[in-house]
Chains A and B, each alone.
Chain A
Amino acid sequence: MAIPKEKLLEMYRNLITARLLGDKLAEIFTTGVAGRTGLHRGTGEEAFPIAIQANLRKDDYLKLTFRMDFTLFAKGLLLRDVIGAEIFRDSSQFGGPRYRFFDPDNGLLAHTGAGGEEPPIYLGAAVAIMYKKTDQVCVCVMGDGFANRGPMHEAMVMSAAWNLPIVWVIHNNQYAMGTSVKKSYKIDDLADRAKAYGFPGETVDGNDVIASYEVMKKYIDRARNGGGPSLVVGETYRLMAHFMGDPQIYRPKGEAEEWWKKDSIPRYQKTLMDMGILTVEDIDKFQREIEAEIEEAATAALALPQASYENHLKTAIDEI
């Protein structure tokens, strides 16, 4: 079934927003107003999370990799609150997430400080969906690094045993900090792992918006309709350093340049232009509109309150 034009354009706008927002965040971090350094930039990997979120509702549960959290505007968060969460602002009193994207009412159950502990927690949301008999789904995206950790294995085992409404996703950007995926995996296709758990697995070009959308749609619809878990692997590449300031001594010369040639944006622009639903004028117009939106959101984000210690104290369960 053809993807509606509105959906294709929505993904285009989100893709451009993600690219420009990534640049804006880098600028905010560089100037020091963030109060934080070492941004983990996700420029070049935006297409896959954008395509995932194009299949989700605001009440679905979603964990992205920490690097790609800034694309959560595509799930319905305000741009202001996304920027705010990246710089420790707390927008919960305005209906947004707490610092660093904790918002259980909107399907965000946070990142654990030790990455890779999230799969059981997100699987719990799928258990809740089973008990509440709603048609929500849970999508849990792990990087190729954390996907090797034990909690992911246990959670995948249990998801299969209980046939839970969750799509496991590996966002394979080829590097876990400085370690190449080739050093950690003895399989070429990471989706092969699904077979051992007894559910389907499929790998897709994560820099291809339409292919990613279609594959994710297949498995998200399947989970929503009681078909149970699955594993999708999105192949992309970490064009940026692990964090801003990382000298990247592990990266072979020329590797990034080769991947820049596969960048999602020019490919998607060409596809949409070939389909006759995007013009050169549209591209310029969208760019200008989005730049203005981001500027406005960034100003608003910097005005958001800092996380409060008063709130922190409210969480105490005995004397402090």
Chain B
Amino acid sequence: MAETQMLNYVSAIGAAINEEMRRDERVAMWGEDLVSMQGAYGENPGMFKEFGDRIKDTPIVEQAILGTGMGAALAGIRPIVWLMTAGFLTIAFEGLFMEVGGLRQEYGYAGPMPLVVYCRSGIGGGFGAHHCASTESLFMHSPGLKIVMPSTAYDAKGLMKTAIRDDEPVIYVGYGALYFGAKEPIPTEEYLIPFGKADIKREGKDITIVCYSGMVRKALAAAEELNKEGISVEVVDLRTLVPMDVAAIVKSVEKTGRLLIAHEAMKRAGAAGEIAFRVTEAAPDLVKSLKTPIKRLAAQNLAIPRSISLDAQLLPQVEDVIAIVKTMGFD
């Protein structure tokens, strides 16, 4: 049995950044309040001392934070830029969608641009759309952005290390409500998790739930309940939306014959539509032979209210997963 240490989600991300900064002196990190508040992103106060100026505070200038990350990545640095929330990515939208995501391609440049754009979604707590919204589907539509959305501390660490070593731009979206959640045993030995490899978080035989980020936890809780009623749920965690492991979904659905796609982002033009179509294109005969049509569960098409009592009503919850699964031909 390999040695492990107990880390929560945020500490796992911090550990990944620490390790990579020690490993490669080109890695640097900047953003708002990183140093001043020592922990905008993690519980690793020691690293601010250890790495000195390689972690820097910026003024509140999101377009400049994002753009400097891109320019530095083209000039030999491997930056991690901290944009705080997935909603704040929209402040730097042009830079992220068109320049980071597209400029290399406009110029046919396949050379390195190793940039990690790091933020959180799913913070909850009545903070409203800028702090809580899931914006990943906006950026899935950009031609050149990889999108990472881990659901566990283990994945969060391995995927952050891969993101930092990747030579292409990556948006890394942590899930806020998990940050200070339960500690998990994390191997002390180094590991990386490749992009484009989904993970079966729970095996089952009756229905496949494809999800990612915070929705995985809810799907697993629902699966536990459904199991008591004799419905065996397989939970497929995509881990990265771009690139997407369509083959893993197809393989799972070949076994279960049912597909539910669930995410916390808004339903309209959300990732679920894309996922369903990717599966249909990859395996049209499988989709034709499903026991029941593909369904999706997502946030309602409304902005996230600035009221703590309303957040939960808008976002899909465990009971919503249970309810929708029961409509998928288990009579």
Q: Which of B71, B76, B104, B243 sits near A123, CB closer than 8 Å? A: B71
CB of B70 within 8 A of CB of A124, answer: yes
Q: Which of B63, B68, B111, B243 sits near A317, CB closer than 8 Å? A: B243
Task: For the complex formed, measure the closest distance between the CB of B170 and the CB atoms of chain A, giving whole angstroms.
Answer: 10
How many A-B pairs with Cβ below 8 Å? 149
Bound Cα distance from A131 to B51, whole angstroms: 12
Task: For the complex formed, measure the closest distance between the CB of B32 and the CB atoms of chain A, giving whole angstroms.
Answer: 11
Task: For the complex formed, measure the closest distance between the CB of A61 and the CB atoms of chain B, giving whole angstroms.
Answer: 7
CB of B63 within 8 A of CB of A110, answer: no
A-contact bits for B140-178, CB 8 A (1 contact / 0 none): 000111100000000000000000000010000000000
Other A-B pairs beyond A127-B28, A127-B72, 18, CB < 8 Å: A99-B107, A104-B109, A109-B75, A113-B98, A113-B106, A120-B66, A120-B95, A123-B68, A124-B79, A131-B77, A132-B76, A132-B77, A151-B67, A311-B108, A315-B104, A315-B109, A316-B143, A318-B146
Task: For the complex formed, measure the closest distance between the CB of B70 and the CB atoms of chain A, giving whole angstroms.
Answer: 5
Chain A residues lying within 8 Å of B143, measured Cβ to Cβ, are 316-317
Interface positions of B (Cβ within 8 A of A): 26, 28, 30, 54, 56, 58-59, 61-77, 79, 94-95, 98-99, 103-111, 143-146, 168, 196, 242-244
Task: For the complex formed, measure the closest distance between the CB of A229 and the CB atoms of chain B, giving whole angstroms.
Answer: 13
Instruction: Knowing A90-B108, A318-B243 are in contact, say whether A120-B28 is a contact too (CB < 8 A).
Output: no
Chain A residues lying within 8 Å of B30, measured Cβ to Cβ, are 127
Bound Cα distance from A319 to B246, whole angstroms: 11
Would you mind naming 30 contact pairs between A and B with Cβ atoms under 8 Å apart?
A61-B75, A98-B108, A99-B107, A99-B108, A102-B103, A102-B107, A110-B103, A110-B107, A112-B99, A119-B67, A120-B63, A120-B71, A120-B95, A121-B70, A121-B95, A123-B64, A128-B76, A131-B26, A155-B64, A155-B67, A158-B58, A158-B59, A158-B64, A161-B59, A311-B108, A315-B105, A316-B143, A317-B143, A317-B145, A319-B243
Q: Which of B72, B104, B105, B108 sits near A124, CB closer than 8 Å? A: B72
Chain B residues lying within 8 Å of A307, measured Cβ to Cβ, are 108
The verdict on A218 contacting chain B, using a C-beta distance below 8 Å, is: no
The verdict on A129 contacting chain B, using a C-beta distance below 8 Å, is: yes
The verdict on A100 contacting chain B, using a C-beta distance below 8 Å, is: yes
Chain B residues lying within 8 Å of A132, measured Cβ to Cβ, are 76-77
Give the contact-size bracket for chain A: 35 or more
A115-155, CB < 8 A from B: 117, 119-129, 131-132, 150-151, 154-155
Q: Which of A113, A117, A318 sits near B242, CB closer than 8 Å? A: A318
Chain B residues lying within 8 Å of A124, measured Cβ to Cβ, are 67-75, 79
- Identify the closest chain B residue to A99 (Cβ): B107
Chain A residues lying within 8 Å of B26, measured Cβ to Cβ, are 131
CB of A112 within 8 A of CB of B244, answer: no
CB of B103 within 8 A of CB of A112, answer: yes
CB of A314 within 8 A of CB of B73, answer: no
Bound Cα distance from A155 to B69, whole angstroms: 12
Task: For the complex formed, measure the closest distance between the CB of A272 and the CB atoms of chain B, giving whole angstroms.
Answer: 37
Bound Cα distance from A122 to B71, whole angstroms: 6
The verdict on A312 contacting chain B, using a C-beta distance below 8 Å, is: yes
